[in-house]
Amino acid sequence: MLGYAAKRVLVSIPVIFGILIVTFSLARMIPGDPCKAMLGDKVSAETCQAFVERHGLNKPLISQFFVYVEDIAHGNFGDSIRFSRPVTQIIVERLPMTAELAMLALIVATVVGVGLGIIAARKQNSATDVGTMVLANVGISMPVFWLGLMLAYLFGVILRGTPLWLPPSGRLSAGMASVPFYEVWHWQVVADTTQARFLAFLSNFYVLNALITGNWPLFWDALRHMVLPVIALSTIPMAVIARMTRSSLLDVLGRDYIRTARAKGVLDRDVVRKHALGNAMLPVVTILGLQMGALLSGAVLTETVFGLAGVGRMLVEAIFARDYPVVQAFTVMIAVSYVVINLLVDLSYSYLDPRIRPQ
C-alpha cells in the first residue's frame, strides 16, 4: 500500500512540473516587453533592470524557469500590478472563499447525488427513476452561470418579502462583519508573520469562523449567502454523481452474490445498504476527483454571477486588468490543487478497493 502510494505520488510530480512549464511558457508568450507585462506600463528603467536581473531574463530560458520554480517553492508569486502588493497575500484573502464554496458544493453534490442515484436504481424504470434521470440530463446540460442568475432572480426578487428570500449576492449582509476567531479569543498575533497569515487564512472561511466563535447570527447570515451559489455550483456534479450511482448500483444489484443474499431472505433495504452500496460506490469515488475540476472551473463563473470575492472572480478581473502575475499564480495554484485532490482520490480508491492494490 505504501509502495503504491509512493509510486502514485511520483507519477504526479512530472504532471505538476508540466503545469509549471505551461504556466511559465504562457507568461513568456505574452506579447511585448516581459518587464512591462509583469510590473505594469509605468515602471521605471532602473526597476526594470533590477527585475530582469532578479528573474534572470537576460539568461537562457531554462535558468529563467528554475528561478521561477524556486520562487514558487518559496511561496513567492511576485507582486500584483493592480494592487502593488504580494500575490501571496491576495491568495490568503481570496482562496478561503472559493475553498468554502467548492467544499460545500462538493458535499451537497455528493450527498444529494448519491441519494437520488440510490432512489432511482431501487425503483428502476418507475416514474421516480425516469424523472430523476431526466432531471439529471437537464442538470448536466445546464450552464452554471445561467442557473445562478435565474436562482438570484427567483430567490432574490420574486420571493422578496417571503421567508424563502435569499440574498442574491455578496458574502455577508450590509452591517455584518466577520471578526477573526483569533481576535475574539484575544490571541497575541504578530503582524506579517507566517503564523499571522495562516490564522488570517483560516479566519477567512467565514462560515467556519462564525461556527467556532459561536457567533450564530453571523453564521446564519454567512450560510444564507452561500445557499444560492452552492446550489448553482453543485448542480452539474450532482447530476453526474446521480447518474453514476444509479448505473453502478444497477450493475452491482444484478450480480450473483446479491441474488444469493436475496435468496437467503435478506431484507431489500439491507441488500442495498450492506451488500451492494459499498461496491457500487467505487466508480463514484473515481469521478469525485474529476468533478473537482468542474467545481473549480464552475467557481470562476459562480463567483462572477454572485459577486463573490474569490480566486475565480479575481482571476477574471486580473485578465482584463492585464495583471499577469496574478493570472499566473492563480492558474498554478488551482491546477496544482486539482492534481493533489485527484492524487488523494486515487489513494483513497486503492484503500477502498484492495483489488487494485499491487500485491
Partner 1 sequence: MTSLNNASAAAADAIAEEGLIGDPVPLWKQTWKRLLRKRSGQVGLIIIGLLLLIAITAPVIAPYDPNDVLIGTEHVKRREAPCVHLLGCDINRPQHIMGIDGNSRDTFSRVLYGTRVSLMIGLVTVTTALVSGVLLGAIAGFFGGIADNIIMRIMDVILGFPSLLLAIAIVAVLGPGIVNALLAISIVSMPAYARVTRASVLSVKTLDFVSATRALGGSPARILFRRVLPNALTPIVVLATLGIATAILDAAGLSFLGLGAQPPMPEWGTMLGTEKDQVFSAPHLVFFPGIAIMLTVLGFNLLGDGLRDALDPRLNT
- To partner 1, the closest distance from the beta carbon of 145 in angstroms equals 5
Q: Which residues of 5-44 are buried (b: 16+ CB within 10 A; e: fewer)?
A: eeeeeeeeeeeeeebbeebbeebeeeeeebbbbbbbeeee
The residue (of 140 and 200) whose beta carbon lies closer to partner 1 is: 140
The residue (of 16 and 266) whose beta carbon lies closer to partner 1 is: 16
Q: Which cell numbers in the block locate residue 256?
A: 450473483
Q: Does 271 bind partner 1 (CB under 8 A)?
A: no
Q: Does 344 bind partner 1 (CB under 8 A)?
A: no
In the chain, where does DSSP find H-type helix? Answer: 2-28, 34-39, 45-54, 61-73, 87-122, 127-140, 144-153, 181-184, 194-203, 206-212, 216-253, 256-263, 268-270, 277-306, 311-320, 324-352
Q: Looking at 13-21, 65-73, 191-199, 201-209, which segment touches partner 1 (CB under 8 A)? A: 13-21
Are 31 and 322 a contacting pair, CB within 8 Å? no
Q: Does 335 bind partner 1 (CB under 8 A)?
A: yes
Q: Looking at 68-76, 256-264, 269-277, 326-334, which segment touches partner 1 (CB under 8 A)? A: 326-334
CA 203, 333, 289, 136 torsion-angle sign: positive
Q: Looking at 42-50, 75-83, 226-234, 320-328, which segment touches partner 1 (CB under 8 A)? A: 320-328
Q: Does 305 bind partner 1 (CB under 8 A)?
A: yes
Q: Give the three-class secondary structure for 178.
A: coil
The residue (of 104 and 152) whose beta carbon lies closer to partner 1 is: 152
| Residue tagged 498575533 (cell numbers) | 189
C-alpha span between 221 and 348 (Å, rounded):
35
The residue (of 251 and 353) whose beta carbon lies closer to partner 1 is: 251
Are 245 and 121 a contacting pair, CB within 8 Å? yes
The residue (of 47 and 169) whose beta carbon lies closer to partner 1 is: 169
Tell me which amino acid residue 208 is.
Answer: L
The residue (of 48 and 339) whose beta carbon lies closer to partner 1 is: 339
Cα distance between the two ends of the chain: 8
Q: Looking at 74-82, 213-221, 262-270, 329-337, which segment touches partner 1 (CB under 8 A)? A: 329-337
Q: Does 334 bind partner 1 (CB under 8 A)?
A: yes
Dmax over CA atoms of the chain, in Å, equals 84
Q: Does 128 bind partner 1 (CB under 8 A)?
A: no
Q: Does 125 bind partner 1 (CB under 8 A)?
A: no
The residue (of 91 and 334) whose beta carbon lies closer to partner 1 is: 334
> Could you give the string, one character per residue 228-247, with x where binding to partner 1 holds by CB under 8 A and - elsewhere?
--------------------
Q: Which of 69, 63, 56 is nearest to 19 (CA)?
A: 69
Q: Which of 5, 19, 52, 285 binds partner 1 (CB under 8 A)?
A: 19
Q: Which of 1, 6, 13, 26 binds partner 1 (CB under 8 A)?
A: 26
Q: Which of 48, 69, 135, 149 binds partner 1 (CB under 8 A)?
A: 149
Q: Is 98 left (phi over 0), alpha (psi -120 to 50) or beta?
A: alpha
Give the side-chain half-sphere CA count within 13 A for 310.
Answer: 30
How many residues touch partner 1 under the rule CB under 8 A: the total is 50
Q: Give the three-class secondary structure for 19.
A: helix
Note the residues at the interface with partner 1 (CB under 8 A).
14-16, 18-19, 21-23, 26-27, 29-30, 137-138, 140-147, 149-150, 152-153, 156-157, 168, 292-294, 296-298, 300-301, 304-305, 315-316, 319-320, 324, 327, 331, 334-335, 338-339
